[in-house]
Amino acid sequence: MRRQLKTIYAEISWYCDPWEAATLKTRHGERIFTNHGKYTPCNLLDPIKNPAQQNPLFWQDVRQWYFALMNNDIDKIQGYYRLYGQLNVIPPDEKYDYQGYDFGLHSYEDAWRFNEEALGWFNFLTCLTDWLKKKKFGPLWELFGKPRVTNSGSIDLYPEANSPLDLQSLGLYQIRYSIPSIIPLEKLRDPAFVRPTKYEHQTPQDDTQLLQAVWNVIVDQVEMMMNEIELTPFRGGDATKPNLTWRFRVYGAFQAAFLQWYFQELADVNIEKCAKSGCEKIVPPDRRKYCSKQCYAAAAKQRQRIRKAMEV
């Protein structure tokens, strides 16, 4: 049974602050980007200044930032900063002590290595999702390997074993597939079951199992990142109105790009639309096929009219 990806729709609340002059310096052996230009904050209420709301290709543009870092293309990197400002891949509350590393990052600074790791993760996750949707079994089987039984309980998917990226510093941005044990879970829960000295795990054995495994990996990664993004209630400018909306509050281009990709590619994957012709409403969890009793009755009458017309 496929895992459900819980969905909530909310605005992407992001102050896009383009950097006038991104400069590169070294601190404690780490390459750091900082803004040495004038700080000119953008108005969140101006939709032109929020690329995540205005430009549907924004997340794809941010994804290309990764290749500029990989190729050490300083001109392109500075161009991205002039467009979108700080990536800010580290949550604000972890700024000064990230995975045991303290580089003294300040509010308007990005570390090259963290940017590269996070954007590499994003690039990998978006490709993995695309392969799953299009059922591209070639790259998926290459990634997971041939069907086998192994003593290892996981497969490192990102980064690969020979990657130059430091596995110990990745923190959030590491993707593993947890291989299920060949012993059924019911047996493992049985107090009378004699546990083996070594557990054997079975990787996906066919295309169906492979797609299920890929989906589970994607859900794990999306849920992990969504837990890092602050969701806040927001009441409009008129305090007398009861309308309450929700906003994802993000602190940089990285989280904004992730959310835009999520809403475009995954948010509606578990959403079922009403089966009545002409109705686009979402089917509530407690109903099947139709959003309401009214739509169910209207669809039944429509089917009845069609049957009568066929009998004539």
Do 142 and 288 lie in one domain? The reply is no
List own/partner pairs for 39-43 with CB under 8 A and 24 or more apart.
39/108, 41/15, 41/17, 42/15, 42/16, 42/17, 42/18
Q: How far is CA 124 from the centre of its chain?
A: 11
What mean pLDDT comes out for the span 138-143? 95
What is the per-residue pLDDT for 37? 67
Answer yes or no: is 163 within a domain. no
* Alpha helices, DSSP H, located in the chain: 51-54, 58-70, 74-84, 112-134, 137-144, 185-189, 207-226, 253-265, 293-311
Do 119 and 255 lie in one domain? The reply is yes
Least confident of 23-32, 61-70, 171-180, 193-202: 193-202
Answer yes or no: is 156 within a domain. no
Neighbours of 215 (CB within 10 A): 17
How many domains does the chain fold into? 2
Do 71 and 92 lie in one domain? The reply is yes
Please answer whether residues 156 and 225 qualify as being in contact, where contact means their C-beta atoms are separated by less than 8 angstroms: no
Could you give the C-alpha distances from 262 to 236, 254, 294, in angstroms and in order? 25, 12, 32
Answer yes or no: is 65 within a domain. yes
User: Nearest-CA neighbor of 277 among 309, 243, 305?
Assistant: 305
- Domain interval for residue 231: 11-146+221-265
Do 306 and 226 lie in one domain? The reply is no
Answer yes or no: is 235 within a domain. yes
Answer yes or no: is 88 within a domain. yes
Do 248 and 301 lie in one domain? The reply is no
pLDDT in tens, 253-274: 999 999 999 999 988 765 677 8
Please answer whether residues 32 and 109 qualify as being in contact, where contact means their C-beta atoms are separated by less than 8 angstroms: yes
- 135 token code pair: 């059922």
Answer yes or no: is 209 within a domain. no
pLDDT in tens, 288-306: 788 888 888 888 888 888 8
What is the per-residue pLDDT for 1? 47
Answer yes or no: is 257 within a domain. yes
Do 114 and 261 lie in one domain? The reply is yes
Do 251 and 229 lie in one domain? The reply is yes
Answer yes or no: is 226 within a domain. yes
3-state secondary structure of 152: coil
Percent of the chain whose predicted confidence (pLDDT) is above 90: 31
Looking at every residue in the chain, the average pLDDT score rounds to 81
